[in-house]
Amino acid sequence: MMNRIKIAPSILSADFSQLGNEIILAEKGGADLIHIDVMDGHFVPNITIGPVVISAVRDKTTLPFDVHLMIENPIRYVDDFAKAGADIITFHAETNALLDTIKKVKDNDKKVGISLNPSTPLSVVNDVIDKIDLLLIMTVHPGFSGQKFIHDVLPKIEKGRKIIDEGQLKIDLEVDGGINENTAPLAVKHGANILVAGSSVFKGDVMERIKSLRLCAEGAKHKVFKE
Ligand code: DX5
Ligand code: ZN
Instruction: Write the pLDDT tens digit of every residue in 118-169.
Output: 999 999 999 999 999 999 999 999 999 999 999 999 999 999 999 999 999 9
Give percent of the chain above pLDDT 70. 96
The question of whether 205 is a catalytic residue gets the answer no
Tell me: pLDDT of 225 over 50: no
Name the closest-CA residue to atom 6, ligand 1. 142
Residues with CB in 5 Å of ion ligand 2: 37, 68, 176
In the reported structure, the alpha carbon of residue 175 is separated from the centroid of ligand 1 by a whole-number distance in angstroms of 10
Let me know if residue 224 belongs to a domain: no
3-state SS string over 114-161?
Answer: EEECCCCCHHHHCCCHHHCCEEEEECCCCCCCCCCCCHHHHHHHHHHH
In tens, the pLDDT along 189-199 reads 999 999 999 99
In this prediction, residues 27-35 reach a mean pLDDT of 98
> Which H or E run contains 54?
helix 51-57
Predicted local confidence at residue 2, as pLDDT: 57
In tens, the pLDDT along 97-111 reads 999 999 999 999 999
Let me know if residue 20 belongs to a domain: yes
CB under 6 Å to ligand 1: residues? 10, 12-13, 35, 37, 68, 140, 142-143, 145-147, 176-179, 196-200
Domain membership of residue 152 as a residue range: 6-218
Query: Domain total for the chain?
Result: 1
| Side-chain-facing half-sphere of 196: CA atoms under 13 Å | 33
The DSSP output letter for 14 is S
In the reported structure, the alpha carbon of residue 112 is separated from the centroid of ligand 1 by a whole-number distance in angstroms of 19
In this prediction, residues 201-205 reach a mean pLDDT of 96
Tell me: pLDDT of 22 over 80: yes
Ligand 1 atom closest to Cα of 179? 12
Let me know if residue 49 belongs to a domain: yes
Ligand 1 atom closest to Cα of 39? 6
The question of whether 37 is a catalytic residue gets the answer yes
Predicted local confidence at residue 41, as pLDDT: 98
Tell me: pLDDT of 224 over 60: no
Tell me: pLDDT of 223 over 90: no
In the chain, the amino acid numbered 53 is V
Let me know if residue 227 belongs to a domain: no
Let me know if residue 226 belongs to a domain: no
In tens, the pLDDT along 32-85 reads 999 999 999 999 999 999 999 999 999 999 999 999 999 999 999 999 999 999
In this prediction, residues 83-98 reach a mean pLDDT of 98
* Pairing relationship of beta strands 134-138 and 6-9 according to DSSP bridges: unpaired
Rounded CA separation 106/100 (Å): 10
Residue tagged active-site, from 40, 133, 172, 176: 176
The DSSP output letter for 10 is B
Predicted local confidence at residue 71, as pLDDT: 98
Tell me the pLDDT band of 4, cut-offs 50, 70 and 90: confident
Q: What is the CATH number of the domain that holds 46?
A: 3.20.20.70
As a whole number of angstroms, the longest Cα–Cα distance in the chain is 45
Let me know if residue 192 belongs to a domain: yes
Tell me: pLDDT of 226 over 50: no
| pTM for this predicted structure | 0.96
Let me know if residue 169 belongs to a domain: yes
Let me know if residue 115 belongs to a domain: yes
